[in-house]
A = this chain, B = another copy of it.
Amino acid sequence: MMERGGKVGHGEDPQYIIDRFAQTRGRSLDLCARLTPEDMQVQSMEDASPAKWHLAHTTWFFETFILKPWAAGYSEFDRDFEYLFNSYYNGIGPQFKRANRGLVTRPSLDAVFAYRNHVDEAIRALHPERNGFSEIQPLLELGIQHEQQHQELILTDLQHAFFQNPKFPCVAPDQHVETIRHASPLQWIAFDAGIYAIGCTGDKFHFDNETPQHRTFLEAFRLASRLTTNAEYLSFIESRGYERPEFWLSEAWQMLQTNPRIAPLYWQKRGNEWFQFTLRGLQRLDPAAPVMHVNYYEADAFARWAGKRLPTEQEWEVAAGSLELGSNLRHSTPTLSPEYDGRNLTQMFNCRWQWTSSSYAPYPGYRPLPGTVGEYNGKFMVNQYVLRGGSVATPEGHIRKTYRNFFCPGASWQFSGLRLAESGP
């Protein structure tokens, strides 16, 4: 459920994709540079996976979908890995029990590194000039995209694991964090009713769930100019929002009775002050920063309390269409620090994954990728909700207006926040 399936990209200089492959593979290792073998072993809940598993599974993806079917003479690294590091591809075969991923101490981390090297070499040995490469290239692109998605999960899963530790270790001690002095005043940006095109088309890489492009009719709506801040969310808490059933979906209220919660995941109150567990350890809560680690139920409850609602994913996409992407994305390297902007529609991209009110569903005319990679996206289209925009930890190539992320409404360990919407002209 935590992973994404995708539709393959298109023509590009073959050598360039091999280079990007190498960069992507290296980036995954960079993310783990400060971790111990133990850090990379543990799994703190069934929804999360060990970092070691992420490193192996992304490798498995290249081996399974490219090397085994397409690379003549490729020699499998370890035949047990087909079973061990398959996430959920039933077309490939059965999978090791997800909840037990954290118990697999052998292969060791070193063996996983060797596995990565073995596969990396075999990929580099593919001859881009050969005839078959045009068939391999889209799969290579998909594998790169897939690994990039797992890079964000490595961070969120690690953060969750470290949060279980009463010593609150710091995952990324040198991460740059901007302190935000003032949140910009909240303005309402209006959009007209009309028929809009939703979804992706064209040559650039995109996932199958972004297609086909189709028409949708939207009634007039308005979108908040920026994300909801910690300070605003705190007002909700302080007005006893978590104790008042009128703001909560029935299902959410039931959960609150069973598993009481008084704030977003990773928030901790010490004395009279709020802290937040982050990749850099426990930090004082920054009131002007966008709220992070709320689940869908919390996002929805906050919106009801505020007298507003969450946007649909179509509304979000239409609004994003009016943006110059560059104006929101000052940083060119995938750092972990958010960007902020005082202008009109800000914090759309690369800041927080923004919950929409849209259940994750196929677009009209949607067809999954053919073959086993078709399990990537389509089979998760129930009881999950779409998030848009990308977070501070989202790799650059995954920041686009048609991109659909999705999680169960109870999930809050992703870098998820919210933006308010309302109906009417």
Complex alpha-carbon distance, A44 and B165, angstroms: 18
Contact of A259 with B by CB under 8 A = no
Decide: A382 near B41, CB < 8 A? Known: A80-B166, A80-B167: no
Interface segment among A105-113, A124-132, A335-343: the answer is A105-113
CB-based contact A108/B36 at 8 Å: yes
* Contact assessment for B105 and A38 in the assembled complex, using a CB-CB cutoff below 8 Å: yes
Evaluate contact between B383 and A104: CB separation under 8 angstroms.
Answer: no
Whether A249 sits at the interface, judged by CB under 8 Å, is yes
Of the candidates B193, B248, B364, B365, which one forms a contact with A379 in the assembled complex, judged by CB atoms under 8 Å apart? B248
Contact B165–A105 (Cβ < 8 Å): yes
Q: Which residues of chain B come closer than 8 Å to A383, judged between CB atoms?
A: 251, 383, 409
Q: Which of B83, B165, B166, B380 contacts A166 (CB 8 A)?
A: B83
| Other-chain residue from B165, B221, B250, B382 in contact with A104 (beta carbon distance below 8 A) | B165
Query: A84's contact among B103, B166, B252, B375, by CB below 8 Å, is which?
Result: B166
Chain B residues in 8 Å Cβ range of A245: 90
Within 8 Å by CB of A365, from B103, B161, B423, lies B423
Closest to A385 in B: B382
The answer to whether A382 and B38 have CB atoms under 8 Å apart is no
Contacts of A381 in B (CB 8 A): 249
- Interface of chain A residues 158 through 190 with chain B (CB within 8 A): 161-162, 164-167, 169
Contact partners of A364 in chain B: CB under 8 A: 218-219, 221, 423
Query: Complex formed: what's the CA distance from A140 to B248 in Å?
Result: 27
Question: Which of A209-217, A396-404, A412-420 makes up part of the contact surface?
Answer: A209-217
Given that A41-B38, A42-B103, A217-B195 are contacting pairs, would A300 and B382 also be in contact in the complex, using a CB cutoff of 8 Å?
yes
Copies held by the complex: 4
Residue A37 at the B interface, CB < 8 A? yes
Shortest Cβ distance from residue A193 to the other chain B in the assembled complex, whole angstroms: 8
Please tell me if A263 contacts chain B, counting CB pairs below 8 Å.
no
A100-B161 Cα distance, complex, nearest whole Å: 10
What's the least CB distance linking A419 to chain B, in Å?
Answer: 17
Query: Chain B's nearest CB lies how many Å from the CB of A270?
Result: 16
When distances are taken between beta carbons in the complex, the residues of chain B under 8 Å from A52 are 38
Q: A215-B217, A381-B249 are in contact. Are A105 and B409 (CB under 8 A)?
A: no
Which 6 A-B pairs have CB atoms at the shortest separation, nearest pair first?
Answer: A359-B359, A217-B217, A90-B245, A38-B105, A219-B364, A103-B164
Given the complex of chains A and B, what is the CA–CA distance between A83 and B300 in angstroms? 28
Contact with B along A235-260 (1 / 0, CB 8 A): 00000000001101111110000000
Nearest CB of chain B from residue A21's CB, rounded to whole Å: 28
User: What's the Cα separation between A37 and B42 when bound, in Å?
Assistant: 12
How close is A25's CB to chain B, nearest CB, in angstroms?
22
Could you jot down 12 A-B contacts, CB within 8 Å?
Answer: A36-B105, A36-B108, A38-B40, A38-B108, A91-B246, A104-B165, A106-B165, A219-B365, A221-B364, A251-B382, A364-B423, A365-B423
